[in-house]
């Protein structure tokens, strides 16, 4: 019996049990990965990250039996999470728009703008491609994940980088 001070068993021990239908093991496994899934979902789905997290956890729960290589667990979780976060954004139609940085910039260059603040100002499409790039996806993988032509991904990535740069270091007016 588990006491309140014991840590859940490692993923290597939980995974085969969860795949075999052991509900407590499945619960421990999902509890273990939830913070990671939530971080990935927030970076992609932003305002809809709670919905994306739930969708990703349900997809992981349903698809866990299909995972053949336990060593690939975290990569598989990442792929499922990214896919579900992108689907959630598309389904809920989050159309945040780019809002330009005000012309007046802080006089002190040490007053750095936080990356999340800059990302919030970008459109959802631009935030998605930048986030997917940070998670290590190449243009072909992004195109497949977002269900877009590769040319569209390339142009979005180019524009997203430019918008990010403009917001990060606005030119003095």
Structure tokens of 61? 């729960």
The per-residue pLDDT for range 125-137, each reduced to its tens digit, is 898 898 888 888 8
Determine the pLDDT at residue 9: 57
Nearest partner of 81 among 114, 54, 113, judged by Cα: 54
Per the prediction, the chain carries an average pLDDT of 80
* Better-predicted residue by pLDDT, 135 or 18: 18
The whole-model pTM stands at 0.60
Determine the pLDDT at residue 103: 33
The CA angle 58-38-151, to the nearest 5 degrees, is 90
* Better-predicted residue by pLDDT, 13 or 105: 13
Long-range contacts of 75-80 (CB under 8 A, 24+ apart): 77/33, 77/36, 77/37, 78/40, 78/135, 80/56
Average pLDDT over residues 26-35: 93
Topology at the third CATH level for domain 11-92:
Rna Polymerase Sigma Factor; Chain: A (1.10.1740)
- Structural domain spans, the chain: 11-92, 96-173
Instruction: Evaluate if residue 89 carries a pLDDT over 90.
Output: no
Percent of the chain with pLDDT over 70: 79
Average pLDDT over residues 63-68: 91
96-173: in CATH 1.10.10.10: yes
Percent of the chain with pLDDT over 90: 37
Cα-to-chain-centroid distance, residue 152: 20
């Amino acid at each position: 019996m588990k006491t309140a001070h014991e840590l859940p068993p490692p993923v290597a021990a939980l995974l085969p049990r969860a795949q075999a239908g052991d509900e407590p093991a499945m619960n421990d496994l999902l509890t273990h990965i939830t913070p990671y899934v939530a971080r990935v979902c927030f970076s992609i789905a932003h305002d809809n990250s709670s919905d994306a997290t739930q969708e990703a956890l349900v997809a992981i729960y349903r698809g866990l039996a299909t995972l053949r290589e336990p060593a690939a667990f975290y990569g598989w979780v990442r792929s499922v999470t990214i896919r579900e976060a992108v689907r959630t954004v598309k389904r809920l139609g989050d159309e945040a728009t780019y809002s330009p940085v005000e012309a007046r910039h802080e006089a002190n260059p040490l007053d750095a703008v936080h990356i999340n603040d800059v990302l919030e100002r970008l459109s959802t499409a631009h935030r998605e491609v930048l986030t997917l790039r940070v998670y290590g996806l190449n243009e072909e993988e992004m195109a497949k994940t977002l269900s877009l032509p590769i040319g569209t991904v390339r142009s979005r990535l180019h524009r997203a980088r430019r918008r990010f740069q403009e917001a990060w270091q606005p030119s003095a007016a």
